[in-house]
Amino acid sequence: MAIRNFNEKTLTAEVLKRVGKAPDKRTRQIMQSLVKHLHAFVREVRPTQEEWFQGIQFLTATGHMCDEKRQEFILMSDTLGVSMLVDFINYGKAGKATESTVLGPFFVEGAPELPLGASIAKPGTPGEPCAVSGTVKDLKGKPVAGATIDVWEGGADGLYDVQKPDGTNLRARFRSDAAGRFRFNCITPVSYPVPHDGPVGKMLVACGRHPMRPGHLHFIIEAPGYEKLVTHLFVKGDKYLDSDAVFGVKDSLIVSFRKKNAAGEATCAYDFVLKPKKK
């Protein structure tokens, strides 16, 4: 019998039946859930044809905004809270292990490896000089020696090096010493807007939202036998801690950058705790 003459009530079941033929089990599960929720969304919103087309145009513009330096779809995922949801699901919370947060689009693989104590800021970089120190340990308090510590931050102008033509700055890789310790210099992070000159920026305006993130320093910490930790340290007292455009703030990652050392630099100290790799 021909399967046709669908209506608003019968269509979803037929689409589900067809995607249910996907030979791969996970693909089947993902596609069935996508169809179920997408159809439910359309039923709830009841878009006009014009609104449906605006949605298509929004997604098209989002794609056109993407190149090797700009990933507007990740930005959309970040600003709609999806990136943090995926992070909660996959990294979760384990005892005293340091909490994770969103990666963001400005990480660059292969940043220069610098000796402990070096500065990630090229000479003459504007901003308040800041000395960062701490340790990398495991859940039992044992130092993790030789952990790679990737660090990156935006400049005092609110822009990351990859958003400007002047080459690598404010990013580097360090290795923890035999006692799990690390130290380096940077500039005290300042709040800045996520890129908002594209479709995601328009979406934020339409929702009455600002694009700001509270000041933060990005970290990726990796060591054999441990889960890779993707996180930030947020500046205590920043006015955007409660309205981060990408929902990444966690209390345990908020740190004071106010205390000054003998050299008059701001300081920040943090002890990272890695959790063992999932078996």
Residue 25 has φ and ψ, to the nearest 5°, of -60, -45
- Within 97-136, which residues bind Fe ion (CB under 5 A)? 104
Structure tokens, 197: 């000159």
Task: Find the shortest distance in angstroms from Cβ 231 to Fe ion.
Answer: 11
Rounded to whole angstroms, what are the CA distances from 93 to 100, 180, 185, 273? 8, 22, 29, 12
Which region among 32-40, 90-98, 99-107, 197-205 touches ligand BEZ (by CB under 6 A)? 99-107
- What does the alpha-carbon distance between residue 204 and residue 182 come to, in Å, rounded to a whole number? 38
- Within 131-170, which residues bind ligand BEZ (CB under 6 A)? none
Q: Is residue 75 at the binding interface for ligand BEZ, with CB under 6 A as the rule?
A: yes
Q: Is residue 219 at the binding interface for ligand BEZ, with CB under 6 A as the rule?
A: no
Q: Which residues contact 31 (CB under 8 A, 6 or more apart)?
A: 19, 22
Strands (E), the chain: 129-138, 148-152, 171-175, 181-187, 192-193, 212-213, 216-222, 229-235, 254-255, 266-274
* Closer Cβ to Fe ion, 104 or 199, answer by number: 104
* Closer Cβ to ligand BEZ, 232 or 275, answer by number: 232
Q: Is residue 227 at the binding interface for ligand BEZ, with CB under 6 A as the rule?
A: no
Q: Is residue 234 at the binding interface for ligand BEZ, with CB under 6 A as the rule?
A: no
Residues making contact with Fe ion (CB under 5 A): 104
Please give the residue ranges that form the binding site for ligand BEZ (CB under 6 A): 75, 78, 102, 104-106, 194, 213, 246
